[in-house]
């Protein structure tokens, strides 16, 4: 029997394990981030989470106010060790013990903490500083788990959320393989820990990104989990896929199996679809966001559980990203538009996380108008209400990057007039963005800039 067919055979047999797993839940969770300047209070936010009928909530720290407010609720809770805390926790057991005391024992069991996630997508960062954190990830998880065991706490699982960039290959799913720089050094010890402690492999998985970078090859319906006649058959495994999410999840399963771990359960720590974005960000709209999340809920709350082609019938704990649009997140426009609620708490679209509401019971959504790439010109200009002092600093930054970014603003040059901070900053932002977008630059400038399709010279 070839290695590949052996792996596939093992995966099929192991799928029986997931049918009877009692620790998993088919109730949808929600990611509650707080990177917004105008967000409702923690109390109001938890009331909103209840109103949306979430079964669990994931926060990006161990905020004591939030954990106290969650006491006595039916919400299962996931808390997080911050990236910068990992090395200290890994180095000394007493540091880990203190962390557990302060962030778990002070609230548990009245607050139903069920997951401790160590770090957030740390393998997506490759600086020397982060490579040191890589080495300490699994040791820190061991320290946390040891402390939980010492307190006879066995219903809290320890894991770490990872992004899809941990893979060297994901397509077809049967070719799923971890990156060579982390496979032996990080992934093998991590999988050994997850397997021994019967924890979950937490994955941040976004079909939006896979589709938006290749919309001509990947069907939008396939990415949105729509039930159509579109399918893909993996040429190696013979497994048939009817949506992109299952493909991405099964690539993880095959990658783990290649390292000898075919029984580790999956959990989706983040997934979702942006409700808006920049002009050049295809498919980021309310229609698609609501459609994806509603179909996701239907899939993940189905009874009996659907699982994936490689693991039919498995229950996959899932957290949707996110509760709010968060206006202080940096990066392209989509980064600030993943919420189901506006920053003021008003719903962006109707959603019921319980899965009890059929798709036909929702009101019509606004039509999508950006499901094909925008082919016109886009400029980056000063945002309305921009702070003048901050604008001066941002102008200096943009012009200080060289590469002729602000040559046209020199006295006597073609764009020196009109002599205004607003005009000069708008030119500098557009020039900087055009020259450096290939290196990851965005039209944001800490909230001071915004995109426009109107030529600034016509303002």
188 is catalytic: no
192: tokens are 């050994």
Element (H, E) at 450: strand 449-452
Angle, helices 388-399 vs 421-436, to 10°: value is: 40
Is the distance from CB of 79 to CB of 62 less than 8 angstroms? yes
Contacts of 25 (CB under 8 A, 6+ apart): 55, 56, 76, 315, 317
Element (H, E) at 318: strand 318-320
Is the distance from CB of 10 to CB of 1 less than 8 angstroms? no
Is the distance from CB of 326 to CB of 276 less than 8 angstroms? no
CA separation for the pair 341, 224 (Å, rounded)? 20
CA separation for the pair 122, 284 (Å, rounded)? 26
Give per-residue burial for 134-156: e unless 16+ CB within 10 Å, then b: bebbbbbbbbbbebbeeeebeeb
Contacts of 261 (CB under 8 A, 6+ apart): 191, 192, 194, 195
From the candidates 121, 128, 350, 458, give the one annotated as an active-site residue: 121
From the candidates 270, 326, 350, 458, give the one annotated as an active-site residue: 270
- Nearest CA to 205 among 302, 290, 273? 273
User: What CA–CA distances, in Å, run from 182 to 41, 123, 185, 270, 455?
Assistant: 40, 8, 5, 21, 46
270 is catalytic: yes
What 3-state class would DSSP assign to 93?
helix
How many H-runs (helices) and E-runs (strands) does the chain carry? 13, 17
Q: Is 333 left (phi over 0), alpha (psi -120 to 50) or beta?
A: alpha
CA separation for the pair 17, 210 (Å, rounded)? 30
CA separation for the pair 434, 329 (Å, rounded)? 21
Contacts of 392 (CB under 8 A, 6+ apart): 421
Tally of CB atoms within 10 A around 5: 11
- Catalytic residue list: 121, 270
């Amino acid at each position: 029997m070839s290695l590949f067919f052996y792996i596939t055979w093992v995966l099929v047999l192991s799928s029986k394990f997931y049918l009877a797993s009692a620790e998993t839940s088919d109730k949808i969770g929600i990611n509650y981030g707080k990177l917004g300047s105008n967000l409702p209070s923690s109390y109001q936010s938890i009331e909103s989470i209840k109103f949306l009928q979430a079964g669990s909530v994931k926060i990006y720290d161990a905020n004591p106010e939030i954990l106290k407010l969650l006491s006595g609720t039916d919400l299962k809770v996931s808390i997080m060790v911050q990236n910068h805390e990992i090395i200290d926790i890994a180095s000394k057991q007493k540091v880990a013990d203190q962390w557990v005391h302060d962030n778990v024992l002070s609230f548990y069991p009245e607050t139903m903490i069920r997951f401790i996630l160590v770090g957030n997508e740390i393998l997506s960062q490759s600086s020397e500083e982060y490579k040191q954190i890589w080495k300490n990830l699994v040791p820190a998880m061991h320290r946390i788990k040891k402390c939980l065991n010492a307190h006879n706490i066995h219903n809290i699982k320890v894991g770490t959320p990872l992004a899809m960039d941990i893979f060297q290959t994901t397509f077809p799913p049967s070719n799923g393989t971890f990156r060579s720089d982390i496979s032996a050094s990080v992934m093998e010890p991590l999988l050994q820990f997850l397997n021994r402690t019967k924890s979950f492999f937490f994955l941040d998985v976004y079909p939006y990104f896979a589709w938006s970078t290749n919309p001509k090859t990947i069907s939008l319906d396939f990415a949105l989990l729509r039930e159509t006649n579109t399918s893909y058959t993996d040429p190696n495994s013979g497994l048939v896929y009817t949506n992109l999410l299952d493909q991405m999840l099964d690539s993880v399963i095959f990658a783990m199996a290649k390292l000898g771990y075919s029984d580790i359960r999956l959990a989706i720590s983040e997934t979702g679809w942006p409700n808006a974005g920049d002009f050049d960000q295809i498919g980021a709209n309310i229609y698609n966001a609501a459609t994806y999340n509603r179909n996701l809920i239907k899939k993940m709350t189905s009874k009996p559980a659907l699982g994936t082609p490689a693991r039919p019938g498995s229950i996959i704990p899932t957290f949707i990203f996110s509760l709010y649009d968060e206006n202080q997140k940096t990066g392209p426009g989509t980064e600030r538009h993943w919420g189901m609620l506006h920053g003021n708490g008003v719903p962006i679209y109707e959603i019921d996380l319980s899965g009890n509401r059929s798709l036909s019971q929702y009101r019509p959504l606004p039509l999508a108008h950006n499901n094909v790439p925008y082919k016109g010109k886009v400029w980056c200009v000063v945002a309305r209400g921009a702070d003048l002092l901050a604008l001066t600093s941002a102008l200096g930054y943009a012009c200080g990057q060289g590469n002729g970014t602000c040559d046209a603003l020199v006295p006597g040059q073609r764009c020196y007039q009109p002599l205004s901070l607003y005009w000069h900053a708008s030119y500098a932002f557009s020039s900087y963005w055009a020259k450096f977008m290939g290196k990851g630059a965005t039209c944001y400038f800490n909230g001071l800039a915004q995109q426009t399709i109107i030529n600034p010279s016509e303002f």
